Amino acid sequence: MRRGPSAFNIAAITLGMGFLYLPIVLLVIYSFNASRLVTVWGGFSTRWYASLFQNEQLLAAAWVTLRVAFVSATLATVLGALAALGLVRAGRFRGRTLFSSMTYAPLVMPEVILGLSLLLLFVSVGLPRGFWTVTIAHTTLTLCYATVVVQARLVSFDEALEEAARDLGAPPWKAFVLVTLPNIAPAVAAAWMLAFTLSLDDLVIASFTTGPGATTLPIRIYSAVRLGVSPEINAISTLLIGLVATGVIAVYLLNMRRRTPGA
Amino acid sequence: MSVTGAPRPRRPWKRLGRPRGSPSWEARAAFLPYLWLGLFFLAPFLLVAKLSLSDVVLAIPPYAPKLDWSAGLAGVAAFVRALDFEAYARMGHDGLYLAAYLSSLKFAAVATLILLLTGYPLAYGMARCRPSVRQALLMAVILPFWTSFLIRVYAWIAILKPAGLLNMALSQVGLPAVDILNTDTAVYIGLVYAYLPFMVLPLYAVLERQDDSLLEAAADLGCTPFQTFWRVTFPLSLPGVAAGALLCFIPMVGEFVIPDLLGGSGTLMLGKTIWTEFFSNRDWPAASAVAIVLLATLVIPIVLFQRQQTKLMEQR
């Protein structure tokens, strides 16, 4: 028998959710405000959205950001899945402790340190800063998140299934591709999504490692925010929130559907 | 199925597969990410350490000495001789760095405490709900974590600024206006807001797994609900408390965006110091020295965090 939530529990949940969502809801509402002033409601309007699509700089930055996020998320997911396999399946190998520390540390490492250290690396080897340096930096950051997500799924996957395939004559790669990969696919997809959104969102590391022609959207938004609140920023933020929320909810529902019949 | 008797190897046939000593293909697969992290995560730290011992010069890049490989061993010797602890010495003399250091630790510690006090009731309430409701609530906590950090901090500016939404609401109900933006209070609000999901998720993970029969046993033995919580639920949730606290505390010490956008000119935090030294003052050695000090401070919490992560992953 599990007791239901008490009045205190419900109050805590309501307050907590209110705190988490109120600012976002207000931000979205005021992106449709006809007035330029935040506190004055001037009627419903989509003019700020229209003006976004005429802002060349912003569009260029959005394009750079999407490309960086796509490439770095893909790289990070592949490397992260390999790292997870190594950590879960390889048993004890030389340098395992160092390896697992390197995979977990960037999760909590302050971003300024990661950004600064990568920049110094790029400067010292003379790599010109731009698209690729940001992409490498984001891959390094998101690789760790991808590893953790895939690893969590791998530890609960019964290795005997893959061994059965091998016993039946499948070579290791085939057993992996046909048995293990379909099983961890939802986690791999989730890892990619997480890496993609983290890259989309990052300001600090991108600021350190970017160069001419590779200004990302968060850098643009940040410099606009420093000048003050404006409805255009609300509009672009609303679009980004909508994009990410749709993606996350889609993945969530997909996972739910997959799980229900099998369980 | 042998329930009793000597422990058997779980999968005896597993050993037959490969010859002893040769690494499995999974171990070989790990080589690629290993190489990547060594190159782009480990090596850069050595460079930061090196640069923190260099001097500032007006050049591109703005530091000296530079290692001259063409001069051979003599070049290396000259390079090593030119390194010094000047950047650290300057940090010691300038009280501003020490103030930023202490204030970063204070911000992170106080915010972690507030996060525990706000995150625990939320996670606890979630764990008490029906499974279907729990799933939806979990999703609701995770969703803000996926949406942009920068945007969520920005949302608070519109609320807290002098002619913002909070003051508008206050004047509606006849209360005096408050001036919160660009103060330490705003930084605390921002930190708690941005890191709340990081606190709730590990707490929820341990609370959700807790066996209800333990609570019933405690109640049967005469515990009041509060005693049950304090003597059973809370001690059992300590791993989650530790994970949540570390997951929030470590990155908050080096936080940049929140103190920069919500804090005032008097808000000192190390993340902001590194940013200013690097971008405004172009003093790369000083920025590196601050980064090294920050890292040295965080080494112990980071190691604790890693140990816990490894344990969590291996015990499942």
Alpha carbon of A4: minimum distance to chain B alpha carbons (Å): 6
Q: What are phi and psi of A68, to 5 degrees?
A: -60, -45
* B247-298 tens-digit pLDDT: 999 999 999 999 999 998 888 899 999 998 889 888 888 899 999 999 899 9
B-chain residues near A112 (CB < 8 A):
254, 256, 270-271, 274-275, 291
Residue A219 contacts B where some CB pair is shorter than 8 Å:
no
Domains of chain B with bracketed CATH: 98-282 (1.10.3720.10)
Q: Does the beta-carbon distance from B128 to A19 stay under 8 Å?
A: no
B-chain residues near A104 (CB < 8 A):
305-306, 309-310
Q: What pLDDT is recorded for position B4?
A: 43
* B133-175 tens-digit pLDDT: 888 899 889 888 888 888 999 999 989 988 888 888 888 888 8
* B224-253 tens-digit pLDDT: 888 888 888 899 999 999 999 999 999 999
Please name the residues between 67 and 96 in chain B that touch chain A, using a CB distance below 8 Å: none
**Top-confidence residue, B82 or A68:** A68
Alpha carbon of B238: minimum distance to chain A alpha carbons (Å): 20
**Top-confidence residue, B199 or B65:** B199
Task: Identify which of A36-45, A153-162, B33-42 has the greatest average pLDDT.
Answer: B33-42
* B205-215 tens-digit pLDDT: 999 888 888 88
What is the average per-residue pLDDT within B8-22? 47
Q: What pLDDT is recorded for position B315?
A: 62
Answer yes or no: are the C-beta atoms of A30 and A231 closer than 8 Å. Answer: yes
Specify the range with the lowest mean pLDDT, choosing from A10-19, A173-182, B112-121, B307-316: B307-316
ipTM of the complex as predicted: 0.86
For B214-240, give the DSSP string.
HHHHHHHTT--HHHHIIIIIHHHTHHH
Alpha carbon of A11: minimum distance to chain B alpha carbons (Å): 9
Bridge-partner residues for B63, per DSSP? Answer: B56
Q: What is the mean pLDDT of chain A?
A: 87
In whole angstroms, what is the distance from residue A77 CA to residue A72 CA?
A: 8
Q: Does the beta-carbon distance from A156 to B316 stay under 8 Å?
A: yes
What is the average per-residue pLDDT within B38-47? 89
Task: Identify which of A3-12, A72-81, A94-103 has the greatest average pLDDT.
Answer: A72-81
**Top-confidence residue, A30 or B106:** B106
Q: What pLDDT is recorded for position B69?
A: 64
In whole angstroms, what is the distance from residue A154 CA to residue A81 CA?
A: 9
In whole angstroms, what is the distance from residue A121 CA to residue B226 CA?
A: 55
pLDDT at B21 over 60: no
Give CA angle at B236 (B233, B238), nearest 5°: 110
What is the average per-residue pLDDT within B12-25? 52
Give CA angle at A233 (B198, B158), nearest 5°: 70
CB atoms within 10 A of CB B77: 11
* B53-95 tens-digit pLDDT: 888 776 667 787 766 666 677 777 777 777 778 888 888 888 8
Q: What pLDDT is recorded for position B202?
A: 93
Residue A1 contacts B where some CB pair is shorter than 8 Å:
yes
Question: If we measure between CA atoms, which residue out of B227, B290, B303 comes closest to residue B91?
Answer: B290
Percentage of residues in chain A with pLDDT exceeding 90?
A: 40
Residue A10 contacts B where some CB pair is shorter than 8 Å:
yes
pTM of the model: 0.86
Answer yes or no: are the C-beta atoms of A205 and A114 closer than 8 Å. Answer: yes
Bridge-partner residues for B64, per DSSP? Answer: B55
Question: If we measure between CA atoms, which residue out of A106, A180, A105, A71 comes closest to residue B25?
Answer: A180
B-chain residues near A89 (CB < 8 A):
24, 26-27
**Top-confidence residue, A263 or B34:** B34
Distances (CA, A) of B73 to A230, B55, B83, B146: 58, 21, 16, 51
For A159-222, give the DSSP string.
HHHHHHHHHTT--HHHHIIIIIHHHHHHHHHHHHHHHHHHHHH--HHHHHH--TT---HHHHHH
Q: What is the mean pLDDT of chain B?
A: 84
* A164-200 tens-digit pLDDT: 888 888 888 888 888 888 888 988 998 998 899 889 9
* B103-133 tens-digit pLDDT: 999 999 999 999 999 999 999 999 988 888 8
Q: Which residue in B124, B200, B287 is closest to A116 by CB distance?
A: B287
Answer yes or no: are the C-beta atoms of B167 and B181 closer than 8 Å. Answer: no
Residue that is written with structure tokens 């999760």 in the block: A107
Q: What pLDDT is recorded for position B258?
A: 94
Question: If we measure between CA atoms, which residue out of A90, A6, A26 comes closest to residue B225?
Answer: A6
Cis peptide before B65 (omega within 30 of 0): yes
pLDDT at A33 over 90: no
Q: Does the beta-carbon distance from A240 to B216 stay under 8 Å?
A: no
Percentage of residues in chain B with pLDDT exceeding 70?
A: 88
pLDDT at B42 over 70: yes
Residue B129 contacts A where some CB pair is shorter than 8 Å:
yes
* H-state helical runs in chain A: 7-30, 47-52, 56-89, 96-108, 111-124, 131-155, 159-167, 172-175, 181-201, 204-209, 217-226, 231-262
Alpha carbon of A164: minimum distance to chain B alpha carbons (Å): 11
With CA atoms as reference, the chain B residue closest to A242 would be: B147
